[in-house]
Amino acid sequence: MLPEDVESDLSRVLYSEAEIKDKLRELARQIEADYEGRDLLLIAVLKGAVMVMADLARELHRDVEIDFMAVSSYGASTHSSGVVRIVKDLDIDLAGRNVLIVEDIIDSGLTLDWLRHNLQSRNPASLEICALLRKPTAAKVDIDAKYLGFDIPNEFVVGYGLDYAERYRNLRSIGILAPHVYS
Ligand code: 5GP
Ligand code: MG
Ligand code: MG
């Protein structure tokens, strides 16, 4: 399942490739129904959400536009600072558009809270959030993710786009990073 050289770096696999695919398919059906007859623009923040974006977009049996933004929250730490700087802005004008933010994970929610306010100020017709994962700590900030994949334990996870110091993004499954890797 896992590549041999990373097997001992994960203490546990949380979701397999097949489980992730099934969940994204389920979310895609909801999104298709909710946006029927309306345009849809998917926006993801690099780099963590690239896998979710690629797979969710292809599960949607309809026309969508996609765009990416790059933000920086400083360093390779395992905790979010909430201090966000735009490194690459969107190419597409959001005014009057139905925008769906596609996210990998909501932890403290600080990044998404910042992003939601930033995008809202560009006057989209609508703005919703789709996140594959959410941690219990997310409850501290009020992030209303209309489309949510899995609620996960409060552990540092990697794989399927999620990194630790830029590694593990290309794992097909999502797992808990073993503490010996970062301590
Ligand atoms: P938040 O602002 O909600 O605390 O999280 C912001 C970012 O921190 C996420 O988009 C993600 O890039 C990173 N992050 C939060 N929790 C985890 C985690 O468990 N694993 C990894 N790899 N990144 C995380
Ligand atoms: Mg993210
Ligand atoms: Mg990261």
What are the DSSP calls for 48-82, one per residue?
A: TTHHHHHHHHHH--S--EEEEEEEE--SS-SS---
Looking at this predicted complex, what is its ipTM?
0.94
Catalytic residues: 107
- Does 129 sit in the ligand 1 pocket, CB within 6 Å? no
> From 3.40.50.150, 1.10.10.10, 3.40.50.720, 3.40.50.2020, which CATH number describes the 17-153 domain?
3.40.50.2020
> Is the CB–ligand 1 distance for residue 107 below 6 Å?
yes
Q: Exposed, middle or buried: residue 61 (CB in 10 Å: 0-12, 13-18, 19+)? A: exposed
Q: Whose CA is nearest to atom 16 of ligand 1?
A: 107
Residue 105 alpha carbon to ligand 2 centre in Å: 6
Atom 17 of ligand 1, residue of closest alpha carbon: 156
Q: What does the block give as tokens for 135?
A: 């941690």
pLDDT greater at residue 2 or residue 65: 65
Q: Which atom of ligand 1 is nearest to the CA of 163?
A: 22
* Shortest-distance atom of ligand 1 to CA 164: 22
Query: Are the C-beta atoms of residues 69 and 89 closer than 8 Å to each other?
Result: yes
Per-chain mean pLDDT for the chain: 93
Residue nearest to atom 11 of ligand 1 (CA): 105
Query: Two tokens at 92?
Result: 């597409």
Percent of the chain with pLDDT over 90: 80
CA of 130 to the centre of ligand 1 (A): 15
Q: How confident is the model at residue 78 (pLDDT cuts 50, 70, 90)?
A: low
pTM over 0.80: yes
Number of neighbouring beta carbons within 10 Å of residue 82: 13
In terms of C-beta density within 10 A (0-12 exposed, 13-18 middle, 19 or more buried), how is residue 88 classed?
A: exposed
pLDDT digits (tens, 9 = 90+) for 97-155: 999 999 999 998 988 999 999 999 999 999 999 999 999 887 777 888 999 999 999 99
